[in-house]
Chain A
Amino acid sequence: MTLFSKAALGGAFMLLAWNGTATAQTALNIGCTATTDCASAAVALEEGIFKKNGLEVTMTLIGINSNIPAALLSNSIQIGGPTPSVFLQAVDGGLDLVAVAGASSTSKATFDTAGVVATEASGIKEPKDFVGKKVGAPGIGAFLQVLFSKWLIDNGVDPKSVNFVEVTFPTMNDTLKSGAVDAVVTAEPMMSRIIASKTGAPAGYFLETLPERRPQILYASTREWADANADALKAFRSSIDEAAKIVNENPQKGRTAISSFTKIPMDVLSNMKLSVADPKLETEQLDWWVATMDEQNMLQSKPDTSALIQK
């Protein structure tokens, strides 16, 4: 064998080997918002768990959670992390999405990561004080506002009697300070900063009375993608299972991964509780969300939750 043919053979082998790895890796783009709820995906990416399971994963930071269904449908992302309310409203609106795994869920350990903070001048101390007041929320009809409204209903206050306005997280402290709103529905890491700067004081932790293990963020895809990529989905789920354990047992790794995904500085994340990673998703959990949203007239139809979780 001449040197030339040896080189050619070697080259061919290398090409084959390279091709082999390229086909074994399924490319996957995951879209999440800048919260700690997608920590399991961020950890699986950061720790190379996706790669180990044959997935070539990239993560895209999505500005507004309600953009996720459209991003899924246009195949810009294959898996996204919508809140259950965004997910159910998209399904209710006719988009064929399925939940493929759980990302995070409520827990007694993390109820104080979200709450409503009111100024002293507003005189708000308990649920009935919110009547007629102006309350800033990061999104009307979004996760926090829905759960805050549920808290009001459970305490005998009609959320319609509260004047809601949208205020983005980073401007909450300034908006509250200026007196433009009486209270803000907020979450960490903003909440503790607002309280520390004495702009307002906590007036209610509306996650406290919720049952355990209600999903906060779930991983979803289009039904078409989930059906066509059963193997990739299996690899995704086992990666998330493995990563979720790391997030819950070793939050520092979760923080590092979240920081590299969202660019939130480590000094902000370091004294912040991460949402509990909970990869299991059951029909009953979605049913609870459907009931909660029905109570606030947010759904047109009654979604068949058993068909909404990919087998």
Chain B
Amino acid sequence: MKRAWWKGLVVPAALIVLAELAMRVQGSTSMSLAAPSDIVAAFFAILFDGSLLLATRDTLVSAGIGLAAGGFIGLALGILFGLVKPLDRLMEVTIEAIRPIPSVAILPIAMLVFGFGYRMEIAIVAFSCLWPVMIMTRSAMAGIEPRLLEVSRALRLSTWDRVHKIVLPAALPRIMVAFRLAASIALVVAVTVEIAANPLGLGYGILVAQQALQPAVMLAYLVWIGIVGYLLNAALSLMQQRLFGRAGRVEAAS
């Protein structure tokens, strides 16, 4: 892996050079595109005036709390539905009716209820992170080796002991995958909410730059969101490997 790490960069680098040349030669007057060198300059400008870091903090706080809240509720519901089959069947229609609602569609309601600010964004992020975690937890529970559950019954473990000694450890690698999935959703939803309505964070930075006719700043935000997303995923993936060793790697690959 080590000797060829740079090969993956050949195509992006070539594209960037091409974009720079195209913008310079053509003398573009576009209000939505900018030359890569201008984007880099804009990036450092917003980095040093502090606005980029402030916006990153706002977005990550909203996405993080939303992910934690939605993930926790999803995990609890997933375990509950996994353990109590009649409840699962009872709630199926209700859940399947609410789940497909696009998270951005609840924006107008969330805005009326919470107003601008962290709360609105957190609520919407939590709503969208809840479902993948719930469904993957529930299916992870179904995938637990039945003999483990039989053993727990034979040992007459209490429900709590059964959950935290048998069920959670057995399902954890797959639940971790669910969290990773939810984390990427959280960032997407947080930025979308900011572009559509909420005046804070990276999405709002994109919106303001776009409306202020500063495409270089707008694209600098866009590139930065990509980097943040990549780092977030890399951190979670590293955590998964460290915590679960080979089990984590197998699941991550699948």
Contacts and interface: CB of A to CB of B under 8 A. Distances in A.
Interface of A: 33-34, 60-64, 67, 70-71, 73-77, 168-174, 189-190, 193, 196-197, 262-265, 268
17 contacts: A34-B211, A61-B199, A63-B197, A63-B211, A70-B108, A74-B112, A74-B115, A74-B116, A76-B116, A170-B211, A170-B215, A173-B30, A173-B31, A190-B31, A193-B29, A264-B212, A265-B212
B29 to A, nearest CB: 5
Given A63-B195, A174-B30, A268-B213, 9 more contacts: A70-B112, A70-B197, A74-B113, A74-B114, A168-B210, A170-B31, A170-B210, A189-B213, A190-B213
- Contact-residue size bin, chain B (C-beta under 8 Å from the other chain): 20 to 34
A170 B213 contact: yes
B111 A265 contact: no
B104 interface: no
A189 B209 CA distance: 15
Nearest to A33: B211
Contact of B214 (A62, A189, A263): A263
A64 to B, nearest CB: 7
A195 B32 CA distance: 16
B64 interface: no
Nearest to B33: A174
B196 A63 contact: yes
| Among A33, A70, A262, A264: residue with most chain B CB under 10 A | A70
Interface of B: 29-33, 108, 111-117, 195-197, 199, 204, 207-215
Nearest to A263: B212
Contacts of B117: 76
Contacts of B214: 263, 265
Given A74-B111, A170-B213, A60 B31 contact: no
A292 to B, nearest CB: 26
A25 B204 CA distance: 29
Nearest to B30: A174
A74 to B, nearest CB: 3
Given A63-B207, A171-B31, A34 B199 contact: no
A171 B32 contact: yes
A141 to B, nearest CB: 16
Contact of A71 (B29, B31, B116): B116
A62 B115 contact: no
B8 to A, nearest CB: 30
A203 B190 CA distance: 41
Contacts of A264: 211-213
Contacts of B33: 174
Nearest to B203: A63
A61 B116 contact: no
